[in-house]
Structure 1
Amino acid sequence: MSLFELRDVTVRFGGIVALSEVSLSVEPGQVHGVIGPNGAGKTTLFNVACGFVQPAHGTVLRNGRELGRLRPHHLPRLGMARTLQGLGLFERMSVLENVMVGADRFARTGFWSALFGLPRSARDDRALAERSMAALDRLGAAKYAELPAGGLPYPLRKRVALARALVAEPELLLLDEPASGLSAHEMDELGEVITELSGDTAVLLVEHHMDIVMSVCDMITVLDFGKVIAHGTPDEVRDDPAVLAAYLGEDTEEATSDADGDATDEPATARREAEHA
């Protein structure tokens, strides 16, 4: 039984089909990457997995059970956590307080206990803070715990957002473009973190940086114009003609060149025109 599955998912925005009968599954302990050219439907797929977008057709399943109308606030109780491109940190709160927000599912006291500062609320806060510090330490960010999140450099803020997701101890971690805005060295570090995390949690990774996808993923699903055009291991996907055609904008099997080495560029031109339409 798959840990998480999208089955024949179709999403429409007005007359535009963003996803067409897309299926994928994530197995326990697996890093599953989703890639594709701009406009391929990667973000829409991620939003379906998070509950931000409801499919017109198809099903979302967790441990083989259909989730129905999945919503973002359902994720913690389903053992799922996510990060977003926009990070979504509370910039005036400390790094530690931001991560504690993600640990809320472990809270044992309610609103009134916290409001009146009852002893059991203080004990609960200490327990959540300890969990949060452990998550920050795991990502090498514990020393920034007391600083305002908004004053940190972007790469460190990304670590804080990841720590906030990890502190919930998810079985499935959803990562949306985690390498965006990072240097080559920082992407290498991120790759090491994701590989290490896969020992505890499965990962669904939506990313456009091919180097990190090929280095950390066990399986890859490739989208183009809202459809799955390839699925397999990094080695299988890397040389797939359909994938090469999608990224290079030409039919790799039929492209020909003359004696001067010039090749037709009409398919590439057509793709550019379609993307800017």
Structure 2
Amino acid sequence: MELSGITVTFGGITALSEVDLAVVPGTVHGVIGPNGAGKTTLFNVACGFVVPDAGTISRAGDRLERLHPHDLAGLGMARTLQGLGLFDRVTVLENVVVGADRHARTGFLGSLLGLPGAAREERALRERAMEVLDRLGIGAYAARYPGSLPYPVRKRVALARALAAEPDLLLLDEPASGLGAADMDELGDLVRGLAAERAISVMLVEHHMDLVMRVCDEITVLDFGRRIAHGPPDLVRNDPAVLAAYLGEEVD
């Protein structure tokens, strides 16, 4: 995905000003910045929740004239939410099957009528969902309800649901929020493994700098809606503009 010249205003407030960002296939691209920098707005532009006032969005080289949230799965994209967004009244497995549903072919009517093809497809989707749960180490919770599980497990369920769609671009919105150090380390290993093993791209918006610096190949830094730095972690970590944005400057 490539975002070029993205500008977003809310009333008289400029949330983003001519921001560029390109997520390269098979890499993890982090977006960081102080509170109010525009990270969430940029993420929502990439997901179709916010329409930019100016700029372009391209996917696999094709310009998208208007991106809608319901277009994501068809474009090979999946996202997680800060608030998990799990369905508490169905099991973990059924939550993940929802993510795999983009691969369904028989449709609602076929499922409603109980056609043989629909039954086979339902079994295949459940198998696909179970494979993802096992991959994330939470297969034992398949029959449980999300509300009965520890928060770190629920975070993995949300990630499993996104992965069940088999995206080639995964958008992660603060995946480490609410996690302890050990769970955060496991998350970092998982994200790196996804990019390395499956050759998918990851766009990561995150507050935890240690996680971002460890897992990302490229980092874009925003401050007051503008891109102030971009590059690999070592370059960004020592950029004077980044240090000033996070730490402030000395005054007399």
TM-score, normalised with respect to structure 1: 0.89
- Does residue 101 (structure 1) correspond to residue 98 (structure 2)? The answer is yes
**Number of positions where the alignment pairs a residue of Structure 1 with one of Structure 2:** 250
C-alpha RMSD over aligned residues:
0.9
Deviation at 1:31, TM superposition (A): 0.4
Counterpart position of 1:238: 237
Residues 160-218 of structure 1: CA deviation (Å, up to 9, x unaligned): 00000001111100000000000011100000000000021110000010000000000
Counterpart position of 1:13: 10
Deviation at 1:249, TM superposition (A): 1.7
Counterpart position of 1:66: 63
Task: Show the 5 A alignment for 1:77-92.
Answer: 77-92=74-89
- Does residue 57 (structure 1) correspond to residue 66 (structure 2)? The answer is no
Task: Show the 5 A alignment for 1:1-277.
Answer: 4-199=1-196, 200=198, 201-250=200-249, 255=250, 264=251
Given residue 140 of structure 1, which amino acid in structure 2 is its aligned partner?
Answer: G
Deviation at 1:151, TM superposition (A): 1.5
The structure with higher relative contact order (CA 8 Å, sep 6+) is 2
What SS does structure 2 have at the residue aligned with 1:230?
A: strand
Residues 202-259 of structure 1: CA deviation (Å, up to 9, x unaligned): 1000001000000000000000000000001000000000000000021xxxx3xxxx
Deviation at 1:120, TM superposition (A): 1.5
TM-score, normalised with respect to structure 2: 0.98
Deviation at 1:146, TM superposition (A): 0.6
Residues 119-156 of structure 1: CA deviation (Å, up to 9, x unaligned): 22111110000000011111101110011112111111
Given residue 27 of structure 2, which amino acid in structure 1 is its aligned partner?
Answer: Q
Gaps of 5+ in 1: 256-263, 266-277
Deviation at 1:6, TM superposition (A): 0.3
Deviation at 1:92, TM superposition (A): 0.9
2: CA distance, partners of 1:179 / 1:133: 23
What SS does structure 2 have at the residue aligned with 1:198?
A: helix
Deviation at 1:117, TM superposition (A): 1.7
Deviation at 1:116, TM superposition (A): 1.9
Deviation at 1:118, TM superposition (A): 1.9
2: CA distance, partners of 1:211 / 1:166: 24
